[in-house]
Amino acid sequence: MIPRIERATIVVLDSAGVGALPDAADFGDVGSNTFGNIASHCGGINLPNMQKLGLGNLTDIQGVAPTSDANGAFGKAAEASKGKDTTTGHWEIAGVAIDKPFPTYSNGFSDEVIRLFEERTGRKVMANKPASGTAILDEYGEEQMKTGNWIVYTSADPVFQIAAHEEIIPLEELNKACEIALEICTELAPVARVIARPYLGSGEGNFTRTANRHDYSVTPPRPTVLDRLLENKLDVIGIGKTSDIFAGQGISDSRGTNKDNNDGVAKTLKALKEDTKGLIFTNLVDFDMAYGHRRNPEGYKAALEEFDQQLPEIQSRLKEDEILILTADHGCDPTYKGTDHTREYIPVLVYGKNIKSNINLGTRTTFADIAATVEELLLGTQTEGSFAKDLYQ
């Protein structure tokens, strides 16, 4: 019999993929493997607690051996949606795969989009091209300090990003500009998110982005498992940028992080101590933002090892009937060319005090199997793709 549980926790290790998908060539990502290539590049990685959950059974990771006695369930999932961005990945984890990928803007946004944005915000635009979030500041930061012009840029992801020096353009104005940009893009140049990228500093080489980032997303095209949990009077606590990714839809309590992964872990631990029923959904963005896109395998390795040391405390906070799912939303192999996400499988590691041990969940055909499992365990709804029975029977 599959039990009804009172709470599940999903922790997304943002971008921590476990190997290229079969269609990786279509995305220019053949050979990518975020976990595996970090470990090889760095001469190994020490992740004993994720190793106990079966991480080493998913792909070759130097220093993380396979185990025949995992203390939970392990598997990996392919992305059914045709994309590799944060929004698409999270929507699919929540049960909504999209058939048509968001467009990207390799030549920047159209003259019409930029003209409307300038007219409605009252400031001119610089850059308007794909760029690294740190390199763009070195290139245009000093000019922005002189002119007050917006720095607008995109990436290989479907995003409209606006960088603004906090001492030149107030945060309130930047956030309002993002709302305007989302309205314009929704009509003329579809994007998954508009991102406010505030920063500080006095010149090239010492500009730094602040913790006041804010993401403005479009809403999912269909109801997600988050919506169904809310309809059934359950809590959905979004930690980190989770609420932003879903444009607040399906979230009952949003708890943003204003520091780093450690803040996200701390807020997750706090939420686990509370007497809530439903879902805790945490995104730990540093893996992607601070290390993956910046192609810093050493930093990524250190961040993974730090999280691994925090994992036992997260596990200890689970009540007897709860489960924890560790996963990702795409890859961002820091050893790979460029600064883009990579089209990879995601890990699916499940722990619970009452679930069976050493369960191989195999290769799932969609991230949405996570949503199906959560829905069956919390609501009793039997949905295609659920692996709930594998955890308990």
Q: Which pLDDT value is given to residue 343? A: 97
Q: Are residues 174 and 251 in the same domain?
A: no
CB atoms under 10 Å from CB of 298, counted, come to 12
Q: What is the rounded average pLDDT of the residues 373-393? A: 95
Mean pLDDT score, 20-48? 97
Residue 19 in domain: yes
- Identify whether the C-beta of residue 77 lies closer than 8 Å to the C-beta of residue 126: no
- What would the pLDDT profile of 91-148 be if each residue is shown by its tens digit? 999 999 998 889 999 999 999 999 999 999 999 999 999 998 889 999 999 999 999 9
**381, 262: one domain:** yes
Whether 330 is in a domain gets the answer yes
Scan for tokens 């598997």, then name that residue: 75
Domain boundary among 191, 217, 243: 217
Of 151, 180, 179, nearest to 165 by C-alpha is 151
- Asked if the structure places residue 2 within a domain, the reply is no
CA dihedral 254, 260, 265, 270 (to 10 degrees): -50
Task: Flag whether 177 is in a domain.
Answer: yes
Q: Looking at the predicted structure, is the pLDDT value of residue 259 above 80?
A: no
Q: Which amino acid is at 274?
A: E
pLDDT of residue 159: 94
CATH of the domain at 159: 3.30.70.1250
Stretch (H or E) spanning 263:
helix 261-273
Secondary structure in 3-state letters for 155-169? CCCCEEEEEEECCCC
Residues 226 and 330 in one domain: yes
Is position 366 within any domain? yes
Half-sphere exposure of 323 (CA within 13 A, CB side): 31
Interatomic CA distance for residues 60 and 358, integer angstroms: 18
Quickly list DSSP for 115-183.
Answer: HHHHHHHSS-EEEEEE--TTHHHHHHHHHHHHH--EEEEE-SSSEEEEEEETTTS-HHHHHHHHHHHHH
Summarize pLDDT for 296-320 with one digit per residue, the tens. 999 999 999 999 999 999 999 999 9
Residues 6+ apart with CB under 8 A from 348: 73, 74, 75, 76, 77, 325, 326, 327, 361, 364, 369, 370
For residue 78, what pLDDT band results from cuts at 50, 70 and 90? very high
- What letters, b where the CB count within 10 A reaches 16 and e where it falls short, cover 76-91? bbbbbbbbbbbbbbbb
For residue range 24-35, list pLDDT tens digits in order.
999 999 999 999
Alpha-carbon distance of 346 to 89, in angstroms, equals 10
**In the predicted model, is pLDDT for residue 14 greater than 80?**
yes
What is the model's pLDDT at position 86? 93
For residues 368 and 385, the answer to whether their CB atoms sit within 8 Å is: yes
CA distance 239 to 67: 31
Specify if 105 maps to a domain: no
Q: Does residue 77 register a pLDDT over 90?
A: yes
- pLDDT for 357: 96
Say if residue 210 is in the same domain as residue 225: no
Pair (206, 301) in one structural domain: no
pTM summary value: 0.91
Per DSSP, the residues of 273-342 read: HS---EEEEEEE-HIIIIIITTT-HHHHHHHHHHHHHHHHHHHHTS-TT-EEEEE-SSB--TTSSSS--B
At residue 365, the pLDDT reads 98
Domain holding 264, by residue range, is 7-98+221-392
The token duo for 186 is 């929704």
Domain boundary among 217, 232, 265: 217
Looking at the fold, whether 170 and 202 belong to one and the same domain comes out as: yes
Residues 13-39 have a mean pLDDT of: 97
Buried b (16+ CB within 10 A) or exposed e, 207-217: bebeebbbbbb
Looking at the structure of the chain, the number of domains it has is: 2
Q: Which of 138, 210, 140, 216 is nearest to 177 (CA)?
A: 216
How confident is the model at residue 257, as a pLDDT? 85
Quick one: how far is CA 126 from the chain centroid?
Answer: 28
DSSP 71: S
Gap between the Cα atoms of 208 and 133, Å rounded: 10
User: Domain containing 322 — which CATH number?
Assistant: 3.40.720.10
Give yes or no: residues 213 and 228 share one domain.
no
Residue 104 within any structural domain of the chain: no
For every residue of 337-386, DSSP letters joined together read: SSS--B-B-EEEEEE-TTSPSSEEEEEES-THHHHHHHHHHHH----TT-
> How many Cα atoms are found within 13 Å in the side-chain-facing hemisphere of 174?
26
Pairing of strands 323-327, 7-13: parallel
Q: Within this chain, do residues 189 and 304 fall inside the same structural domain, yes or no? A: no
pLDDT reported for residue 344: 98
233 lies in the same domain as 86: yes
- Looking at residues 250-279, what average pLDDT do you find? 95
Average pLDDT, the chain: 96
Give the model's confidence band at 393: pLDDT under 50 very low, under 70 low, under 90 confident, else very high: confident
Write out pLDDT tens, residues 341-375: 999 999 999 999 999 999 999 999 999 999 999 99
| Residues forming a β-bridge with 360 | 74
